[in-house]
Structure 1
Amino acid sequence: MTLSVSPDELFGDGVFETIHLRPAGPFLLPAHLARLAGSAALLDIAVPEITVDAHGSDGAEEALRIICTRRSHRVTVSPIPPETLRERREGVRVVSAGLGFAIGGKPPWSLWGAKTLSYAENFAARRWARARGADDLLWLSTEGYALEAPTASLVWLAGSDLCTVPYAEAQILPGTTAGHLLSLAPSVGLRPCHRMVTIDQLRGADAIWLASALRGLAFVTELDGVPRRRSRWTPILLDLLGY
Protein backbone atom coordinates (compact mmCIF):
# COMPACT_ATOMS: atom_id res chain seq x y z
CA MET A 1 0.00 0.00 0.00
CA THR A 2 1.42 3.37 -1.04
CA LEU A 3 0.62 6.42 1.08
CA SER A 4 0.57 9.81 -0.59
CA VAL A 5 2.71 12.10 1.56
CA SER A 6 4.35 15.17 0.10
CA PRO A 7 8.12 15.63 0.58
CA ASP A 8 7.34 18.84 2.48
CA GLU A 9 5.26 17.03 5.08
CA LEU A 10 7.67 14.08 5.18
CA PHE A 11 10.53 16.38 6.22
CA GLY A 12 8.44 18.70 8.38
CA ASP A 13 8.95 21.64 6.02
CA GLY A 14 5.64 23.34 6.72
CA VAL A 15 3.57 25.11 9.35
CA PHE A 16 0.26 24.51 11.05
CA GLU A 17 -2.28 25.91 13.48
CA THR A 18 -4.63 24.05 15.80
CA ILE A 19 -7.86 25.90 16.56
CA HIS A 20 -10.56 25.20 19.12
CA LEU A 21 -13.75 24.58 17.14
CA ARG A 22 -16.86 25.46 19.12
CA PRO A 23 -20.58 25.39 18.29
CA ALA A 24 -20.27 29.15 17.67
CA GLY A 25 -17.37 28.64 15.25
CA PRO A 26 -13.52 28.58 15.27
CA PHE A 27 -12.21 30.33 18.40
CA LEU A 28 -9.66 33.13 17.86
CA LEU A 29 -9.48 32.39 14.13
CA PRO A 30 -7.97 35.78 13.08
CA ALA A 31 -5.21 35.45 15.69
CA HIS A 32 -4.41 31.90 14.56
CA LEU A 33 -4.29 32.93 10.92
CA ALA A 34 -1.96 35.80 11.81
CA ARG A 35 0.35 33.43 13.68
CA LEU A 36 0.23 30.98 10.77
CA ALA A 37 1.40 33.76 8.46
CA GLY A 38 4.19 34.66 10.87
CA SER A 39 5.36 31.06 11.10
CA ALA A 40 5.25 30.69 7.31
CA ALA A 41 7.32 33.84 6.87
CA LEU A 42 10.12 32.33 8.99
CA LEU A 43 10.18 29.34 6.61
CA ASP A 44 9.88 31.50 3.47
CA ILE A 45 6.56 29.84 2.67
CA ALA A 46 3.95 31.84 0.80
CA VAL A 47 0.61 31.21 2.49
CA PRO A 48 -2.30 31.26 0.03
CA GLU A 49 -5.57 32.88 0.96
CA ILE A 50 -7.14 30.35 3.29
CA THR A 51 -10.88 30.08 3.59
CA VAL A 52 -12.09 28.36 6.73
CA ASP A 53 -15.76 27.51 6.95
CA ALA A 54 -16.97 29.63 9.87
CA HIS A 55 -19.64 27.13 10.90
CA GLY A 56 -19.27 25.67 14.36
CA SER A 57 -19.07 22.11 15.59
CA ASP A 58 -22.17 19.97 15.90
CA GLY A 59 -22.32 20.34 19.67
CA ALA A 60 -19.11 18.71 20.87
CA GLU A 61 -15.92 20.76 20.78
CA GLU A 62 -13.45 19.69 18.09
CA ALA A 63 -9.96 20.41 16.80
CA LEU A 64 -9.62 22.32 13.53
CA ARG A 65 -6.17 22.23 11.92
CA ILE A 66 -4.72 24.26 9.07
CA ILE A 67 -1.62 22.76 7.49
CA CYS A 68 0.49 24.66 4.96
CA THR A 69 3.55 23.45 3.05
CA ARG A 70 5.38 24.94 0.09
CA ARG A 71 3.15 23.09 -2.36
CA SER A 72 -0.23 22.71 -0.70
CA HIS A 73 -2.52 23.47 2.19
CA ARG A 74 -5.41 21.66 3.79
CA VAL A 75 -7.88 21.99 6.63
CA THR A 76 -8.95 19.07 8.85
CA VAL A 77 -11.41 18.60 11.71
CA SER A 78 -11.02 15.88 14.33
CA PRO A 79 -12.18 15.04 17.88
CA ILE A 80 -10.24 16.47 20.82
CA PRO A 81 -8.30 13.66 22.54
CA PRO A 82 -9.83 12.61 25.89
CA GLU A 83 -6.42 13.10 27.50
CA THR A 84 -6.48 16.78 26.56
CA LEU A 85 -9.92 17.26 28.11
CA ARG A 86 -8.77 15.41 31.23
CA GLU A 87 -5.78 17.73 31.63
CA ARG A 88 -8.13 20.72 31.42
CA ARG A 89 -10.33 19.26 34.15
CA GLU A 90 -7.71 17.74 36.44
CA GLY A 91 -4.54 19.73 35.78
CA VAL A 92 -1.02 18.58 34.92
CA ARG A 93 2.14 17.53 36.72
CA VAL A 94 5.15 19.32 35.23
CA VAL A 95 8.91 18.84 35.36
CA SER A 96 11.42 21.44 34.19
CA ALA A 97 14.47 20.75 32.02
CA GLY A 98 17.12 22.80 30.28
CA LEU A 99 16.91 23.46 26.56
CA GLY A 100 20.62 24.09 26.14
CA PHE A 101 20.15 27.65 24.88
CA ALA A 102 20.70 30.98 26.57
CA ILE A 103 18.24 33.83 26.01
CA GLY A 104 19.20 35.35 22.68
CA GLY A 105 21.57 32.48 22.01
CA LYS A 106 19.60 30.57 19.39
CA PRO A 107 21.15 30.49 15.90
CA PRO A 108 19.78 32.94 13.31
CA TRP A 109 18.06 30.12 11.41
CA SER A 110 16.23 28.91 14.53
CA LEU A 111 12.54 28.16 14.02
CA TRP A 112 11.59 28.19 17.72
CA GLY A 113 9.32 31.16 17.01
CA ALA A 114 7.36 29.22 14.36
CA LYS A 115 4.75 26.48 14.67
CA THR A 116 6.26 23.99 12.25
CA LEU A 117 5.34 20.44 11.29
CA SER A 118 8.62 19.28 12.88
CA TYR A 119 7.04 18.28 16.19
CA ALA A 120 8.89 15.01 16.86
CA GLU A 121 11.18 16.67 19.43
CA ASN A 122 8.20 18.29 21.16
CA PHE A 123 6.49 14.92 21.57
CA ALA A 124 9.77 13.31 22.63
CA ALA A 125 10.06 15.93 25.37
CA ARG A 126 6.59 15.06 26.67
CA ARG A 127 7.42 11.34 26.64
CA TRP A 128 10.60 12.09 28.59
CA ALA A 129 8.52 13.95 31.19
CA ARG A 130 6.00 11.11 31.42
CA ALA A 131 8.76 8.59 31.95
CA ARG A 132 9.60 10.62 35.04
CA GLY A 133 6.10 10.57 36.47
CA ALA A 134 4.91 13.92 35.08
CA ASP A 135 2.43 14.87 32.39
CA ASP A 136 4.34 17.65 30.67
CA LEU A 137 7.64 19.51 30.49
CA LEU A 138 8.64 23.14 31.03
CA TRP A 139 11.67 24.20 29.01
CA LEU A 140 14.32 26.38 30.66
CA SER A 141 17.08 28.55 29.23
CA THR A 142 20.63 27.97 30.46
CA GLU A 143 20.19 30.97 32.79
CA GLY A 144 17.21 29.24 34.40
CA TYR A 145 14.43 31.26 32.77
CA ALA A 146 11.16 29.37 32.28
CA LEU A 147 10.12 29.56 28.62
CA GLU A 148 7.27 27.33 27.43
CA ALA A 149 6.02 23.76 27.29
CA PRO A 150 6.38 21.61 24.15
CA THR A 151 2.76 22.28 23.12
CA ALA A 152 1.64 25.09 25.43
CA SER A 153 2.43 28.56 26.75
CA LEU A 154 3.29 29.33 30.36
CA VAL A 155 0.89 31.51 32.38
CA TRP A 156 1.22 32.31 36.07
CA LEU A 157 -0.35 34.47 38.77
CA ALA A 158 1.79 36.67 41.03
CA GLY A 159 -0.46 38.62 43.37
CA SER A 160 -2.85 40.44 41.04
CA ASP A 161 -0.51 40.14 38.04
CA LEU A 162 -1.48 37.56 35.40
CA CYS A 163 1.71 36.89 33.50
CA THR A 164 3.15 35.16 30.48
CA VAL A 165 6.61 35.10 28.90
CA PRO A 166 7.43 37.88 26.38
CA TYR A 167 7.80 35.74 23.28
CA ALA A 168 10.04 38.09 21.27
CA GLU A 169 12.57 38.44 24.09
CA ALA A 170 12.50 34.72 24.86
CA GLN A 171 12.52 33.73 21.15
CA ILE A 172 9.56 31.39 21.56
CA LEU A 173 6.22 30.87 19.84
CA PRO A 174 3.65 33.56 20.68
CA GLY A 175 0.79 32.02 22.64
CA THR A 176 -2.57 32.75 21.04
CA THR A 177 -4.67 31.52 23.97
CA ALA A 178 -2.35 33.08 26.56
CA GLY A 179 -2.35 36.41 24.73
CA HIS A 180 -6.14 36.48 24.54
CA LEU A 181 -6.44 35.57 28.21
CA LEU A 182 -4.18 38.44 29.25
CA SER A 183 -6.23 40.85 27.14
CA LEU A 184 -9.29 39.84 29.21
CA ALA A 185 -7.52 39.92 32.58
CA PRO A 186 -8.60 43.47 33.57
CA SER A 187 -12.27 42.41 33.36
CA VAL A 188 -11.72 40.19 36.44
CA GLY A 189 -9.45 42.59 38.31
CA LEU A 190 -6.08 41.21 37.21
CA ARG A 191 -3.24 43.13 35.58
CA PRO A 192 -1.74 41.62 32.41
CA CYS A 193 2.06 41.34 32.46
CA HIS A 194 4.72 40.05 30.10
CA ARG A 195 7.90 39.27 31.98
CA MET A 196 10.77 36.84 32.17
CA VAL A 197 10.67 34.51 35.16
CA THR A 198 13.25 32.11 36.56
CA ILE A 199 12.22 28.65 37.65
CA ASP A 200 12.93 29.62 41.28
CA GLN A 201 10.67 32.67 40.98
CA LEU A 202 8.00 30.59 39.30
CA ARG A 203 7.94 28.16 42.21
CA GLY A 204 6.79 31.06 44.39
CA ALA A 205 3.89 32.01 42.08
CA ASP A 206 0.35 31.90 43.43
CA ALA A 207 -0.75 29.69 40.54
CA ILE A 208 0.73 28.27 37.33
CA TRP A 209 -1.04 27.11 34.16
CA LEU A 210 -0.22 25.75 30.72
CA ALA A 211 -2.32 27.45 28.05
CA SER A 212 -3.11 26.03 24.61
CA ALA A 213 -5.94 26.06 22.09
CA LEU A 214 -7.47 22.69 22.94
CA ARG A 215 -6.65 22.47 26.64
CA GLY A 216 -7.56 26.07 27.29
CA LEU A 217 -5.89 26.28 30.71
CA ALA A 218 -4.43 23.31 32.55
CA PHE A 219 -3.56 24.06 36.17
CA VAL A 220 -0.10 22.88 37.25
CA THR A 221 -0.77 20.59 40.21
CA GLU A 222 2.88 19.63 40.71
CA LEU A 223 6.15 21.28 39.66
CA ASP A 224 9.37 19.26 39.83
CA GLY A 225 7.81 16.81 42.25
CA VAL A 226 6.42 19.45 44.64
CA PRO A 227 2.59 19.49 44.88
CA ARG A 228 0.82 22.81 44.39
CA ARG A 229 -2.51 23.90 45.84
CA ARG A 230 -5.32 24.42 43.37
CA SER A 231 -6.27 28.00 42.66
CA ARG A 232 -9.73 29.51 42.83
CA TRP A 233 -8.77 31.41 39.69
CA THR A 234 -8.72 28.34 37.45
CA PRO A 235 -12.50 28.07 36.88
CA ILE A 236 -12.75 31.87 36.66
CA LEU A 237 -10.16 32.07 33.90
CA LEU A 238 -11.51 29.04 32.05
CA ASP A 239 -14.95 30.65 32.10
CA LEU A 240 -13.41 33.91 30.89
CA LEU A 241 -12.00 32.03 27.88
CA GLY A 242 -15.30 30.25 27.29
CA TYR A 243 -14.10 26.69 28.00
Structure 2
Amino acid sequence: MTSFVLLLDPIPADSPATAYEIAATLRFVPATEPILTAFDAGAGRGDGIFETLGAHDGRVRGVDAHLHRLAASAEKLDLPAPHPEQWRAAIAQVMDALPIQGQASIRLTITRGTEAHGPTCWITGTAIASEFPERTTGVRVVTLSRGYTNDVGESSPWLLVGAKTLSYAINMAALREAKRRGADDVIFTSTDGFALEGPTSSLLIRRGTTIVTPAIQFGILAGTTQADLFSHLQADGFTCEYRTIGVEELREADAVWLVSSVRLAVPVTEVDGHTIPTDLALTARMNAALLS
Protein backbone atom coordinates (compact mmCIF):
# COMPACT_ATOMS: atom_id res chain seq x y z
CA MET A 1 0.00 0.00 0.00
CA THR A 2 1.34 3.43 -0.98
CA SER A 3 0.86 6.01 1.79
CA PHE A 4 2.19 9.49 2.49
CA VAL A 5 2.03 11.79 5.52
CA LEU A 6 2.33 15.57 5.21
CA LEU A 7 2.58 17.74 8.34
CA LEU A 8 1.27 21.31 8.37
CA ASP A 9 2.53 24.07 10.64
CA PRO A 10 -0.84 25.85 10.93
CA ILE A 11 -1.11 29.52 10.06
CA PRO A 12 -4.04 31.86 10.87
CA ALA A 13 -6.93 31.65 8.43
CA ASP A 14 -6.68 35.35 7.56
CA SER A 15 -2.92 35.32 7.00
CA PRO A 16 -1.90 36.86 3.63
CA ALA A 17 0.83 34.23 3.26
CA THR A 18 2.39 33.84 -0.16
CA ALA A 19 2.64 30.52 -1.97
CA TYR A 20 6.33 30.38 -1.03
CA GLU A 21 5.55 31.04 2.65
CA ILE A 22 2.81 28.40 2.62
CA ALA A 23 5.16 25.84 1.04
CA ALA A 24 7.58 26.40 3.94
CA THR A 25 4.89 25.25 6.40
CA LEU A 26 4.46 21.84 4.75
CA ARG A 27 6.71 18.86 5.37
CA PHE A 28 6.51 15.21 4.34
CA VAL A 29 7.48 12.70 7.02
CA PRO A 30 7.92 8.92 6.83
CA ALA A 31 4.64 7.06 7.32
CA THR A 32 6.25 5.24 10.27
CA GLU A 33 7.40 8.41 12.06
CA PRO A 34 5.42 9.31 15.23
CA ILE A 35 3.82 12.74 14.92
CA LEU A 36 1.74 12.95 18.14
CA THR A 37 2.84 13.21 21.74
CA ALA A 38 1.11 11.13 24.39
CA PHE A 39 -0.47 14.37 25.64
CA ASP A 40 -2.08 15.40 22.34
CA ALA A 41 -5.80 15.97 22.90
CA GLY A 42 -6.58 14.14 19.67
CA ALA A 43 -5.01 10.93 20.96
CA GLY A 44 -6.07 11.28 24.58
CA ARG A 45 -9.61 12.57 24.13
CA GLY A 46 -10.54 12.28 20.47
CA ASP A 47 -10.64 16.09 20.52
CA GLY A 48 -10.27 17.06 16.90
CA ILE A 49 -11.79 16.99 13.43
CA PHE A 50 -11.13 15.35 10.09
CA GLU A 51 -12.27 15.11 6.49
CA THR A 52 -11.80 12.30 3.97
CA LEU A 53 -11.64 13.07 0.26
CA GLY A 54 -11.74 10.59 -2.57
CA ALA A 55 -9.48 10.79 -5.61
CA HIS A 56 -9.50 9.02 -8.96
CA ASP A 57 -6.85 9.03 -11.70
CA GLY A 58 -4.99 11.99 -10.25
CA ARG A 59 -8.02 14.16 -9.52
CA VAL A 60 -9.36 14.78 -6.02
CA ARG A 61 -13.10 15.37 -5.59
CA GLY A 62 -14.89 18.09 -3.66
CA VAL A 63 -11.94 20.06 -2.30
CA ASP A 64 -13.96 23.25 -1.76
CA ALA A 65 -16.85 21.40 -0.08
CA HIS A 66 -14.55 19.46 2.24
CA LEU A 67 -12.55 22.54 3.23
CA HIS A 68 -15.81 24.36 3.94
CA ARG A 69 -16.98 21.49 6.13
CA LEU A 70 -13.57 21.32 7.87
CA ALA A 71 -13.92 25.01 8.73
CA ALA A 72 -17.49 24.48 9.96
CA SER A 73 -16.36 21.62 12.22
CA ALA A 74 -13.49 23.74 13.55
CA GLU A 75 -15.95 26.50 14.44
CA LYS A 76 -18.22 24.06 16.28
CA LEU A 77 -15.27 22.78 18.34
CA ASP A 78 -13.76 26.25 18.96
CA LEU A 79 -10.63 25.25 17.06
CA PRO A 80 -8.64 27.82 15.05
CA ALA A 81 -10.06 28.18 11.55
CA PRO A 82 -7.92 26.38 8.94
CA HIS A 83 -6.16 28.52 6.34
CA PRO A 84 -7.90 27.39 3.11
CA GLU A 85 -4.99 28.03 0.76
CA GLN A 86 -2.55 26.25 3.06
CA TRP A 87 -4.75 23.16 3.12
CA ARG A 88 -5.38 23.39 -0.61
CA ALA A 89 -1.63 23.48 -1.25
CA ALA A 90 -1.12 20.53 1.11
CA ILE A 91 -3.76 18.46 -0.71
CA ALA A 92 -2.06 19.24 -4.02
CA GLN A 93 1.33 18.12 -2.68
CA VAL A 94 -0.08 14.82 -1.44
CA MET A 95 -1.87 14.24 -4.73
CA ASP A 96 1.37 14.87 -6.63
CA ALA A 97 3.06 12.18 -4.52
CA LEU A 98 0.38 9.53 -5.14
CA PRO A 99 0.16 7.35 -8.26
CA ILE A 100 -1.65 9.08 -11.12
CA GLN A 101 -3.75 6.04 -11.98
CA GLY A 102 -6.34 4.44 -9.71
CA GLN A 103 -8.18 5.50 -6.59
CA ALA A 104 -6.88 7.15 -3.45
CA SER A 105 -8.06 8.45 -0.10
CA ILE A 106 -6.94 11.84 1.24
CA ARG A 107 -7.55 12.47 4.96
CA LEU A 108 -7.24 15.88 6.59
CA THR A 109 -6.84 15.94 10.40
CA ILE A 110 -6.69 18.69 13.01
CA THR A 111 -6.39 17.92 16.72
CA ARG A 112 -6.49 20.38 19.59
CA GLY A 113 -2.90 19.33 20.22
CA THR A 114 -1.28 20.46 23.46
CA GLU A 115 -1.46 23.67 25.48
CA ALA A 116 2.20 24.34 24.80
CA HIS A 117 2.18 23.87 21.03
CA GLY A 118 -1.44 24.25 19.91
CA PRO A 119 -3.15 22.20 17.20
CA THR A 120 -1.53 19.30 15.37
CA CYS A 121 -2.37 19.20 11.66
CA TRP A 122 -1.59 16.64 8.99
CA ILE A 123 -2.77 15.03 5.78
CA THR A 124 -2.44 11.38 4.78
CA GLY A 125 -2.71 10.11 1.24
CA THR A 126 -3.26 6.41 0.57
CA ALA A 127 -3.59 4.60 -2.73
CA ILE A 128 -6.57 2.21 -2.73
CA ALA A 129 -6.42 -1.15 -4.47
CA SER A 130 -10.04 -2.15 -3.72
CA GLU A 131 -12.60 -1.97 -6.51
CA PHE A 132 -15.45 -1.70 -3.96
CA PRO A 133 -17.65 -4.59 -5.14
CA GLU A 134 -20.44 -3.31 -2.85
CA ARG A 135 -21.08 -0.57 -5.42
CA THR A 136 -22.82 -3.30 -7.44
CA THR A 137 -23.53 -6.06 -4.91
CA GLY A 138 -24.94 -3.66 -2.34
CA VAL A 139 -25.05 -3.87 1.45
CA ARG A 140 -27.48 -5.16 4.07
CA VAL A 141 -28.17 -2.66 6.84
CA VAL A 142 -29.77 -2.59 10.25
CA THR A 143 -31.35 0.45 11.86
CA LEU A 144 -29.85 1.43 15.21
CA SER A 145 -31.01 4.22 17.50
CA ARG A 146 -28.65 7.09 18.14
CA GLY A 147 -30.41 7.71 21.41
CA TYR A 148 -31.69 11.22 20.83
CA THR A 149 -34.48 13.06 19.01
CA ASN A 150 -34.34 14.39 15.49
CA ASP A 151 -33.88 18.04 16.56
CA VAL A 152 -30.86 17.43 18.79
CA GLY A 153 -28.60 19.51 16.55
CA GLU A 154 -30.67 22.59 17.34
CA SER A 155 -31.64 21.80 20.93
CA SER A 156 -28.21 20.55 22.11
CA PRO A 157 -25.46 21.94 19.85
CA TRP A 158 -22.76 20.97 22.38
CA LEU A 159 -23.28 17.34 21.32
CA LEU A 160 -21.54 18.28 18.04
CA VAL A 161 -23.72 15.98 15.94
CA GLY A 162 -23.18 18.13 12.84
CA ALA A 163 -19.38 18.19 13.15
CA LYS A 164 -16.99 15.60 11.74
CA THR A 165 -15.01 14.89 14.88
CA LEU A 166 -12.34 12.31 15.66
CA SER A 167 -14.65 10.78 18.28
CA TYR A 168 -15.82 7.84 16.13
CA ALA A 169 -16.00 5.19 18.85
CA ILE A 170 -19.81 5.10 18.69
CA ASN A 171 -19.79 4.88 14.89
CA MET A 172 -17.36 1.96 14.94
CA ALA A 173 -19.32 0.23 17.71
CA ALA A 174 -22.45 0.51 15.56
CA LEU A 175 -20.70 -1.16 12.64
CA ARG A 176 -19.54 -4.00 14.90
CA GLU A 177 -23.12 -4.41 16.11
CA ALA A 178 -24.27 -4.62 12.49
CA LYS A 179 -21.78 -7.45 11.89
CA ARG A 180 -23.07 -9.26 14.98
CA ARG A 181 -26.57 -9.04 13.50
CA GLY A 182 -25.45 -10.45 10.16
CA ALA A 183 -25.52 -7.11 8.31
CA ASP A 184 -22.89 -4.97 6.62
CA ASP A 185 -23.75 -1.42 7.65
CA VAL A 186 -26.04 0.80 9.72
CA ILE A 187 -28.61 3.53 9.29
CA PHE A 188 -28.87 5.54 12.48
CA THR A 189 -32.36 6.54 13.64
CA SER A 190 -33.69 9.13 16.08
CA THR A 191 -35.76 8.23 19.12
CA ASP A 192 -38.76 9.95 17.51
CA GLY A 193 -38.75 7.69 14.46
CA PHE A 194 -36.64 9.34 11.76
CA ALA A 195 -33.80 7.95 9.63
CA LEU A 196 -30.58 9.97 9.87
CA GLU A 197 -27.36 8.72 8.23
CA GLY A 198 -24.81 5.92 8.31
CA PRO A 199 -21.77 5.81 10.60
CA THR A 200 -19.55 6.85 7.67
CA SER A 201 -22.06 7.81 4.99
CA SER A 202 -25.05 9.92 3.97
CA LEU A 203 -28.47 8.46 3.24
CA LEU A 204 -30.43 8.76 -0.01
CA ILE A 205 -33.81 7.23 -0.87
CA ARG A 206 -35.73 7.23 -4.16
CA ARG A 207 -39.51 7.48 -4.50
CA GLY A 208 -40.31 7.51 -8.21
CA THR A 209 -38.37 10.39 -9.75
CA THR A 210 -37.68 12.06 -6.41
CA ILE A 211 -34.44 11.57 -4.47
CA VAL A 212 -34.55 12.52 -0.78
CA THR A 213 -31.88 13.00 1.89
CA PRO A 214 -32.41 14.07 5.53
CA ALA A 215 -32.19 17.83 6.05
CA ILE A 216 -28.89 18.75 7.70
CA GLN A 217 -30.47 20.96 10.37
CA PHE A 218 -31.74 17.77 12.01
CA GLY A 219 -28.45 16.78 13.57
CA ILE A 220 -26.63 15.05 10.72
CA LEU A 221 -23.38 15.79 8.93
CA ALA A 222 -23.71 17.70 5.66
CA GLY A 223 -22.79 15.22 2.91
CA THR A 224 -20.31 16.43 0.30
CA THR A 225 -20.79 13.41 -1.98
CA GLN A 226 -24.56 13.64 -1.53
CA ALA A 227 -24.45 17.31 -2.61
CA ASP A 228 -22.43 16.39 -5.72
CA LEU A 229 -24.91 13.65 -6.54
CA PHE A 230 -27.87 16.01 -6.22
CA SER A 231 -26.32 18.24 -8.90
CA HIS A 232 -25.91 15.26 -11.24
CA LEU A 233 -29.35 13.82 -10.46
CA GLN A 234 -31.13 17.11 -11.09
CA ALA A 235 -29.42 17.31 -14.46
CA ASP A 236 -30.64 13.74 -15.06
CA GLY A 237 -34.27 14.80 -14.53
CA PHE A 238 -34.76 13.88 -10.86
CA THR A 239 -36.31 16.10 -8.20
CA CYS A 240 -34.03 16.31 -5.16
CA GLU A 241 -35.33 17.13 -1.68
CA TYR A 242 -33.99 17.78 1.81
CA ARG A 243 -36.54 16.75 4.45
CA THR A 244 -37.18 14.40 7.35
CA ILE A 245 -37.37 10.70 6.43
CA GLY A 246 -39.50 8.43 8.57
CA VAL A 247 -37.96 5.04 9.34
CA GLU A 248 -40.92 3.33 7.64
CA GLU A 249 -39.99 5.10 4.38
CA LEU A 250 -36.83 3.01 4.14
CA ARG A 251 -38.90 -0.14 3.61
CA GLU A 252 -41.28 1.61 1.19
CA ALA A 253 -38.60 3.22 -0.98
CA ASP A 254 -37.95 2.32 -4.61
CA ALA A 255 -34.22 2.37 -3.82
CA VAL A 256 -31.91 3.29 -0.93
CA TRP A 257 -28.23 4.24 -1.00
CA LEU A 258 -25.42 5.01 1.43
CA VAL A 259 -23.00 7.48 -0.14
CA SER A 260 -19.52 8.60 0.93
CA SER A 261 -16.40 10.20 -0.51
CA VAL A 262 -14.34 7.04 -1.04
CA ARG A 263 -16.86 4.21 -1.37
CA LEU A 264 -19.23 6.48 -3.39
CA ALA A 265 -22.84 5.33 -3.93
CA VAL A 266 -23.61 1.91 -2.49
CA PRO A 267 -27.11 0.43 -2.91
CA VAL A 268 -28.88 -0.96 0.13
CA THR A 269 -30.36 -4.39 -0.54
CA GLU A 270 -31.91 -5.08 2.86
CA VAL A 271 -33.09 -3.06 5.88
CA ASP A 272 -33.64 -5.02 9.10
CA GLY A 273 -34.20 -8.20 7.08
CA HIS A 274 -36.65 -6.53 4.68
CA THR A 275 -35.60 -6.71 1.01
CA ILE A 276 -35.20 -3.33 -0.71
CA PRO A 277 -35.41 -2.88 -4.51
CA THR A 278 -32.14 -1.80 -6.11
CA ASP A 279 -31.62 0.40 -9.15
CA LEU A 280 -28.27 -0.79 -10.43
CA ALA A 281 -28.47 1.22 -13.65
CA LEU A 282 -28.97 4.48 -11.73
CA THR A 283 -26.29 3.47 -9.23
CA ALA A 284 -23.83 2.95 -12.09
CA ARG A 285 -24.69 6.37 -13.55
CA MET A 286 -24.25 8.01 -10.16
CA ASN A 287 -20.82 6.47 -9.60
CA ALA A 288 -19.71 7.18 -13.14
CA ALA A 289 -20.68 10.82 -12.65
CA LEU A 290 -18.72 11.03 -9.40
CA LEU A 291 -15.66 9.36 -10.91
CA SER A 292 -15.75 11.64 -13.95
1:58-73 to structure 2, matched below 5 A, reads 58-70=100-112, 71-73=119-121
1:199: how far off? 1.1
Q: Which residue of 2 aligns with 1:233?
A: 282
Q: 16-25 or 206-215, which moves further after superposition?
A: 16-25
1:222: how far off? 0.8
Q: Which residue of 1 aligns with 2:137?
A: 90
- Structure 2 residue matching 1:44: 3-state secondary structure: coil
Equivalent-residue separation in structure 2 for 1:215 and 1:108 (angstroms): 29
- Structure 1 residue matching 2:161: 3-state secondary structure: coil
Are 1:215 and 2:248 counterparts? Answer: no
Using the size of structure 2 for normalisation, the TM-score is: 0.77
1:1-243 to structure 2, matched below 5 A, reads 5-6=36-37, 7-10=40-43, 11-49=45-83, 50=87, 51-54=89-92, 55=95, 57-70=99-112, 71-80=119-128, 82=130, 85-105=132-152, 107-168=156-217, 170-231=218-279, 232-242=281-291
Using the size of structure 1 for normalisation, the TM-score is: 0.92
Equivalent-residue separation in structure 2 for 1:227 and 1:130 (angstroms): 18
Which letter maps to 1:5? L
1:52: how far off? 2.8
Equivalent-residue separation in structure 2 for 1:81 and 1:242 (angstroms): 15
Equivalent-residue separation in structure 2 for 1:13 and 1:75 (angstroms): 17
Moved over 4 A (4+): none
1:230: how far off? 2.3
Whether the aligned pair in 2 keeps the contact of 1:47 and 1:68 (CA below 8 Å) is no
Count of paired positions: 240
1:189: how far off? 1.0
Report the structure number with the largest CA radius of gyration.
Answer: 2
1:5: how far off? 2.7
Equivalent-residue separation in structure 1 for 2:34 and 2:91 (angstroms): 27
1:4: how far off? 5.2
Equivalent-residue separation in structure 2 for 1:193 and 1:131 (angstroms): 34
Q: 99-108 or 115-124, which moves further after superposition?
A: 99-108
Overall identity of the aligned pairs, in %: 37
1:80: how far off? 3.3
Whether the aligned pair in 2 keeps the contact of 1:177 and 1:211 (CA below 8 Å) is yes
Equivalent-residue separation in structure 2 for 1:117 and 1:150 (angstroms): 13
Whether the aligned pair in 1 keeps the contact of 2:91 and 2:106 (CA below 8 Å) is no
Whether the aligned pair in 2 keeps the contact of 1:80 and 1:214 (CA below 8 Å) is no
Equivalent-residue separation in structure 2 for 1:103 and 1:190 (angstroms): 26
Q: Deviations over 1:1-58 (max 9, x none)?
A: x955342221111100000022242101110000000011110011332233434642
CA RMSD of aligned residues (A): 1.9
Which letter maps to 1:28? G
- Relative to structure 1, the CA distance from residue 186 to residue 4 in structure 2 (aligned partners, 3 Å threshold; closer, same or farther) is closer
Whether the aligned pair in 2 keeps the contact of 1:163 and 1:182 (CA below 8 Å) is no
- Relative to structure 1, the CA distance from residue 41 to residue 230 in structure 2 (aligned partners, 3 Å threshold; closer, same or farther) is same
Whether the aligned pair in 2 keeps the contact of 1:126 and 1:136 (CA below 8 Å) is yes
- Structure 2 residue matching 1:149: 3-state secondary structure: coil
Which letter maps to 2:110? C
1:111: how far off? 1.1
Unaligned ranges ≥5, structure 1:
none
- Structure 2 residue matching 1:113: 3-state secondary structure: coil
Q: Deviations over 1:110-148 (max 9, x none)?
A: 111010111111111100011100001111111110000
